[in-house]
Structure 1
Amino acid sequence: MILTCPSCSARYLIASDTIGDAGRPVRCAKCKTEWHQQSEKDSLDDLIKRVKSETVDIDFGETSAWNPSPQTAPPPPVSQGPSKLRIFLEGSFAKLRDSKVYKKLANLDPTIAQKIAGGMVALACFMVLLFVLVLEPIRQPIAEHLPVVAPVYSAAGFPVELLEKEKLVFDRLRAAEGDGGKIRISGTLINLLATEAHLRPFQVKFLDEQGQVLLEKEIEMAQKTLKGEDSVQIY
């Protein structure tokens, strides 16, 4: 059991049988205060009686005033929205409906207009299939050779990563005089991308000490592609 000095509140941990059932006088080793310590059972009984004799008033207010806050409804699921390809097609058809050709078709015989409209829809579906089945798988080389089509692919939901200049780098590029007075260029071309890169012709400029262009030559690589994180020697 734990004894607490009534004067200095010093606490001592002692065995219960040391006090006994009848209790005994004890003295604080810190402040020398003496008191009669009851047994553990008597101390517990006194505590229970004291708690029962005291009035515990806990005011919860009026019951009717208790209003639990309503549970917050879970937010509605975020709609993913239509696909980019669907938005692209809907925008194209909307522009077609606003065009002068469509308005002229509206004034034609209904049968003829229906046939023409059906043919235009079939042509549009064919173009979509051609785009998805043929042009989409090879979109990367097409966009690299024709960068203007990259936004079209992106609008249709097929993003294209255009090859930036810093993705292909030259290393140890040198120019030396070769046979017959010709200038020989040598070095290494490195592909920093993890994907295959298409090699396009590149320009080589020879400058003087003032930075003026003395000679400009276009060099076309023998191979047309370079594997990801690979290099090729230039001779």
Structure 2
Amino acid sequence: MLLNCPACSAKYQIAKTAIPEAGRNVRCAACGHFWYQLPFDDENELELNQSTAVRDIGSQDSTNNKGFGAQKSNSNAPHEKIRKAAIDKKIFLQVAAIAIGWVLAIAVVGGGLFAAISNRNSIVAKWPKSASAFAFIGVPANIYGIEITQVKVRSGIDAQGPRLVVSGVIKSISNTDKLVPYLRVVLVDASGVQKAKWLADPGVTVLKAHGKKEFETIWRNPPAGQLVAIVTFSQPP
């Protein structure tokens, strides 16, 4: 009696007694498909006997009488190739699902981190303790909304004598206009010793959102030596 899997091309020859009159559940050894098999009549059995690529799995082992019992493995048999292809496909789909899950997780975390960094100033303004976390990852937050950048120091002589010129840019990183306080300028030498300090007019009272303003301040009769200028706001903006 021939049994043909409805899901693949695997065929099995079994004993007639393997399928009772009421039928039974069977599973294909090649693709794992389950179905309910009814017994064949003589006409159907004759038609199936004319098929090729038949595998005898029932009558070869009369000692255990298991019907779908032990079979001698043959990696070149058609059903073995089908089974291997099915297993490979299942493994590929599982690996692909895991990979897609990781990619989505990384994208979500990365997007959240980017949004947090982009809005770190607003976050720190509402939750000051988060400032240390942003500083730890190398993106310190500015809760004031304005910052001093591009500070330069140059020396020279004009009609009034030697002078030291300190310049830079006041930059807004806020979405709203900001009041700009006076600047505090401190000159230190290579050892970090303070040599001079003074207050300077920034040249602007209110800085527009995301605006910039260059400033320049002069110190007459500067101390000798290589000096570094430290420019800060005289009070929080």
**What TM-score, normalized to structure 1?**
0.34
- Which fold has the larger relative contact order, with Cα–Cα distance below 8 Å and residues 6 or more apart in sequence? 2
Structure holding more strand per residue: 2
**What TM-score, normalized to structure 2?**
0.33
Structure holding more helix per residue: 1
